[in-house]
């Protein structure tokens, strides 16, 4: 008997070359598969809701996998965590219908980009926030964010050159810049799907607006142009977190 498991996963992406298995390199997907195989005693293929890049973290990644050994859901959770490194945790498991697909059944993905704007970075935040030393104009950055249209737009201008997605239309649910501390801000974004490096490219463009290198219309200008050359730098992955995935 084969059943489909839906797993909720958290991880610190610092030590990994992204979600996806790459030969000879540590990956989140690879560690999860290895841990589960110790329990079910057969090869498994784990499919994630999003293929996070090298160094990207997750508070709410979701994946599915088909297994031939039927156990109580908590047994999968506890068993996998015994075999996983401490920077990857399975937080929940449930048996779902075989039509469920972690990637294609998702209706929205939520990301947070943590940004630290201070001369000195707190040591415990190293690798876990994006860091800009020079003072940023956050009022202008917030105004730029507020200009971005919600709903369906073509985000070709924010895709990486190696992006393999055939669909460049994304339904933007929200985009906001929030102050969460004296030196820390968060860019919060949700859409039905994301292009490769899309959030990091939006963040890089926004940083350049805050530095006065681009006008307040810079985010919208790059969106409307549909040209990657019109957007800003690809910002470091350190501060990026996949926080939640929604399903109907």
Catalytically active residues, by annotation: 53
Q: Where are the beta strands (DSSP E) in 12-122?
A: 47-48, 57-67, 88-96, 106-116
| Phi-psi sector, 107: left (phi>0), alpha (psi -120 to 50), beta | alpha
| Three-class DSSP category at 133 | coil
| Three-class DSSP category at 20 | coil
Task: For the chain, count helices (H), then strands (E).
Answer: 5, 10
Give bridge partners of residue 20 from the DSSP assignment. Answer: none
Cα–Cα–Cα angle for 175, 178, 179, rounded to 5 degrees: 165
């Amino acid at each position: 008997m084969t059943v489909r498991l839906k797993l909720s996963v958290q991880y610190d992406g610092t030590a990994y070359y992204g979600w996806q298995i790459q030969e000879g390199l540590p990956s989140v997907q690879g560690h999860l598969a290895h841990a589960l195989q110790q329990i079910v005693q057969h090869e498994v293929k784990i499919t994630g809701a999003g293929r996070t890049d090298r160094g990207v973290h997750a508070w709410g990644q979701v994946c599915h996998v088909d297994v031939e050994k039927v156990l109580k859901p908590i047994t999968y959770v506890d068993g996998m965590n015994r075999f996983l490194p401490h920077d990857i945790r399975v937080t929940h498991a449930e048996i779902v219908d075989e039509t469920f697909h972690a990637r294609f059944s998702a209706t929205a993905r939520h990301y947070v980009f943590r940004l630290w704007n201070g001369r000195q970075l707190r040591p415990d935040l190293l690798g876990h926030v994006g860091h800009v030393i020079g003072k940023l104009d956050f009022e202008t950055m917030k105004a730029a964010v507020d200009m971005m249209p919600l709903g369906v737009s073509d985000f070709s201008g924010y895709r990486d050159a190696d992006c393999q997605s055939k669909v460049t239309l994304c339904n933007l649910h929200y985009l906001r810049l929030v102050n969460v501390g004296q030196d820390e801000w968060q860019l919060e974004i949700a859409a039905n799907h994301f292009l490769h490096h899309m959030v990091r490219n939006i963040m890089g463009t926004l940083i350049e607006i805050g530095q006065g290198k681009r006008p307040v219309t810079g985010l919208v200008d790059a969106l409307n142009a549909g040209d990657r050359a019109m957007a800003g730098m690809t910002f470091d992955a350190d501060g990026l977190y996949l926080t939640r995935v929604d399903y109907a």
